Amino acid sequence: MKRKPTLLIVGCGDVGLRVLRELRRRGSPWRVLALTSQAERRHELREAGAIPLLGNLDDAASLGRLAGLADAVLHLAPPPLQGRTDPRTARLLQALSRRSVPKRLVYMSTTGVYGDCQGQWVPETRALKPQTERAQRRVDAEQRVRHWAQRLGCSSALLRVPGIYALDRVGGDPRERVRRGSPSLVPEEDGYTNHIQADDLARIALAALNRAWPLRAYNCGDEGQLRTGDHYDLVAERCGLPRPPRITWDQARAQLSPMQLSFWGESRRLVSQRIQQELGVRLHYPTVEQALPSAPGA
């Protein structure tokens, strides 16, 4: 009997669990391992269809058992919360280098690597101009993945992901922001926003494992082309909620945290045709409207 190839998921949080659910729905062609630093998550990961492996990306000594295990790696783990580099990705790649390397590695990055594009259309070929340390850490991780893959002959792909949402995603339900009355900018000062529904992102990740071109980057945005305030106005109207208040930039600086301001300070519209043309993905939720309840107040 032919051995199933092994997939290692690193950072198996919400999106990773959605990947596991999608694999189960399809009938998984993979034997799936999931790296976790939390022993209490082992049962959850087994129930989802993965074999849990204890290891911590902040502790290189705990990663030794990863060497030679996987045919493919889906790297979903975020960088540390501080600094301009990603030592977690560095430790992971070092561990994967100790024996036969995976044939494919897909890294989930962020569209923040482009910085503020002043509302322009942004293809994957646009120069990277990260404006925050958070984005600089992602650029560092991307570069590490690409250089490592080129040097060792692994086929790598980068998924550049905007805001992830789903109605069942903790911290990612757009209705919650509207219910809290979180403000948006006045129209004349507002910027464009980009999103992807979490289950669609899981499907993109699986498609990248199977079909991504080597050393290729993919923008993972949906087809929405709204400014941020219009986006949340749509959510409010669709769900029978009051529209969020609008404030000026001067008011925002007095009310919001530096992190919130950093998101508002970047405006771009993603060109995301590669996920359809090269990966063959057809989004189930091409805009947020398709993902929202059909009845007001739901």
Domain assignment present for residue 1? The answer is no
Q: Residues 160, 236: one domain? A: no
**What is residue 167's predicted lDDT score, i.e. its pLDDT?**
96
Domain assignment present for residue 205? The answer is yes
What tens-digit pLDDT sequence spans the chain (298 residues)? 568 999 999 999 999 999 999 999 999 899 999 999 999 999 999 999 999 999 999 999 999 999 999 999 999 999 999 999 999 999 999 999 998 999 999 999 999 999 999 999 999 999 999 999 999 999 999 999 999 999 999 999 999 999 999 999 999 999 999 999 999 999 999 999 999 999 999 999 999 999 999 999 999 999 999 999 999 999 999 999 999 999 999 999 998 898 889 889 999 999 999 999 999 999 999 999 999 987 554 4
Q: Residues 233, 181: one domain? A: yes
Q: Find out whether 243 and 185 touch, Cβ atoms under 8 Å.
A: no
**What is residue 213's predicted lDDT score, i.e. its pLDDT?**
97
Closest CA to 144 of 209, 218, 98, 89: 89
Q: Residues 81, 103: one domain? A: yes
Range of the domain at 14: 6-165+195-222+270-285
Q: Residues 82, 42: one domain? A: yes
**What is residue 3's predicted lDDT score, i.e. its pLDDT?**
81
Domain count, the chain: 2
Q: Residues 205, 254: one domain? A: no
- Long-range (24+ apart) CB contacts under 8 A made by 90-93 are 90/144, 91/57, 91/58, 91/60, 91/63, 92/10, 92/57, 92/63, 92/66, 93/144, 93/145, 93/148
Q: Residues 106, 203: one domain? A: yes
Q: How buried is 84 (Cβ within 10 angstroms: 0-12 exposed, 13-18 middle, 19+ buried)?
A: middle
Q: Residues 121, 234: one domain? A: no
Domain assignment present for residue 291? The answer is no
Domain with residue 132: its CATH number is 3.40.50.720
Domain assignment present for residue 257? The answer is yes
Q: Residues 139, 243: one domain? A: no
**What is residue 297's predicted lDDT score, i.e. its pLDDT?**
47
